[in-house]
Amino acid sequence: MRQQDLFIRALVVAFNCILGAAAVAAPTGPDLTKPFFGCDRTVGAVPMLSILWDPHRPTDPAPAKADVERLLFGKQHSVAGYFRENSYGRFRVTNAGVLGWYDAAKPAEHYWSTDDKDADGDGFVDGHVEKWTEAIRQADKEFDFARYDRDHDGTLSTRELAVHIIIPQNGSFGTNRGTAGREYPTLEPLVVDGVQVPVIAESYLGAPPDLAVVVHELAHLMLNAPDMYFPFAYPYGAGSYSLMDWHGYCSHLDPFLKLRLGWATARVVTESGWQTLKAVEKHPEVLVLMDPSHSTSEYFIVENRWTKDSYEQALPDSGLAVWQIVDDAKALASIPAPRGCDPSHWATVGADDWGRRAVRMIRPVFLPQRDDKLALWDGSDPATGYDLRPLSHRPERATLRWADGSPSCFRLRHIPASGPVMRFWVGME
């Protein structure tokens, strides 16, 4: 073999060794495809049956059916449009029917009694359970529930058919609840057309109808999305920036949920460099900042929230949203109370209450009572732009910390003014 050939062969071998070493050394990012407490990939279409049921309370008149249909499936400001935008077209809510208004069979006050000991012998002790059963049985007269039992197991899952009961009320409110065909003397499942309907979403519409409450409840029902609001002061709550926290705005879901649902994609960052993010309202990409030497199940997510021309255009701030994630179900119970949170309050959050324990919003201005107007990192705002002083002179709030309180290696620098495209430096220092 010629000396030149030997030299070329040696170069090829060396190059392959380098590639192999790089492949071995390349860190493995978090598995964002695995289910997390029942929240997993949800794409395609889910049919929704909406049942309009009216107890005829004089103070809470029902809106026109056409107005409800527009709220659910209209071209603008609708349930269908909200999920289409959030999922970038990957998840659709389709119309299996909007039925009613059905009239309540009993006086309105009967259904707001929650423990009547079955005094009237109707088989129910809770008027709320009775009204859901009544509404579904009324709808059954003109709707074939069995048609949607695709796997023929005798039970309608919420992804085979989402059953949504709508009730007129001036103040908006919602729930997800289990059903019963009878409660007393023994609990019986609710079966229509030979299939069980085990759970429903219930929306009290509000006047005018409140889209945010409706989509919040449907996110529970169809996506297994968790509640994220807190009954006490909590500096790291998502607030206005996730639908599952405070739904005064029709805000998007947080990026952790979008990743789990298979709607957004993650660009994993494990070393310093310039990064560019487009507005997450239109572009399904976020950054995952991960330090493999610390953990692959605890990381930060960065997204660009630019609310213009989207369902969340009324949000009070725009810029980079930074989220801290503990992506380890076993570790959630041992997470200590974060700085600024009363430990006795934190102890009331259940170990499996993952929406509250696993996801934190890291705000540029630390306040015991969060301010949603100072929630996002915007270089044009002196209050929320990143401090560019030397590391030793930066305030504590500039450090992204892990759940145990220790500082991470990540710094966000050179943050520009908020906009549809933001370019900034991610440093590992």
| Residue range 287-325, pLDDT digits in tens | 999 999 998 899 999 999 999 999 999 999 999 999 999
pLDDT score, position 316: 93
pLDDT-based confidence at residue 386 (cuts at 50, 70, 90) = low
pTM summary value: 0.89
pLDDT-based confidence at residue 399 (cuts at 50, 70, 90) = low
Average pLDDT taken over every residue of the chain: 88
Structure tokens at 97: 């029917």
Separation between Cα atoms, residue 9 and residue 416, nearest integer Å: 49
Write the CA distances from 80 to 45, 158, 264, integer angstroms.
11, 16, 18
Separation between Cα atoms, residue 98 and residue 130, nearest integer Å: 20
Higher pLDDT, 124 or 404: 124
Strands (E), 226-280: 265-269, 273-278
Would the CA dihedral through 176, 181, 183, 188 be positive or negative? negative
* pLDDT tens figures, 183-233: 999 999 999 999 999 999 999 999 999 999 999 999 999 999 999 999 999
Structure tokens at 50: 């909406």
Local structure of 429: helix, strand or coil: coil
Helices and strands (H, E) in the chain, number of each type: 8, 15
Task: Give the residue extent of every domain in the chain.
Answer: 44-223, 239-428
Local structure of 223: helix, strand or coil: helix
Residue 297: beta bridge partners?
none
Amino acid of residue 394: R
Separation between Cα atoms, residue 254 and residue 258, nearest integer Å: 7
Cis peptide before 284 (omega within 30 of 0): no
pLDDT score, position 20: 38
Structure tokens at 108: 């309105």
Whether pLDDT at 397 is above 80 = no
Write the CA distances from 14 to 10, 11, 19, 26, 163, integer angstroms.
6, 5, 9, 18, 62
Residue 223 · residue 162 · CB < 8 Å: no
Radius of gyration of the chain (CA): 25
pLDDT score, position 388: 46
Work out whether strand 173-178 and strand 162-167 pair parallel, antiparallel, or are unpaired: unpaired
Alpha helices in 26-145 (DSSP H): 65-73, 79-86, 127-140
Half-sphere exposure of 375 (CA within 13 A, CB side): 25
pLDDT score, position 401: 83
Structure tokens at 21: 């070493």
Burial 98-135 (b: 16+ CB within 10 A, else e): bbbbbebeeebebbebeeeeeeeebbbbbbebbbbbbb
Whether pLDDT at 352 is above 80 = yes
Most confident by average pLDDT, 46-60, 115-129, 372-386, 393-407: 46-60
List Cβ neighbours of 308 (8 Å cut-off, separation of 6 or more).
Answer: 279, 318, 420
pLDDT-based confidence at residue 12 (cuts at 50, 70, 90) = very low
Q: Which residue has the tokens 């079966």?
A: 191
Whether pLDDT at 261 is above 80 = yes
Local structure of 401: helix, strand or coil: strand
pLDDT score, position 3: 45
Q: What is the DSSP string of 25-58?
A: HSPP---TTS-BTTB----EEEEEEEEEEE---T
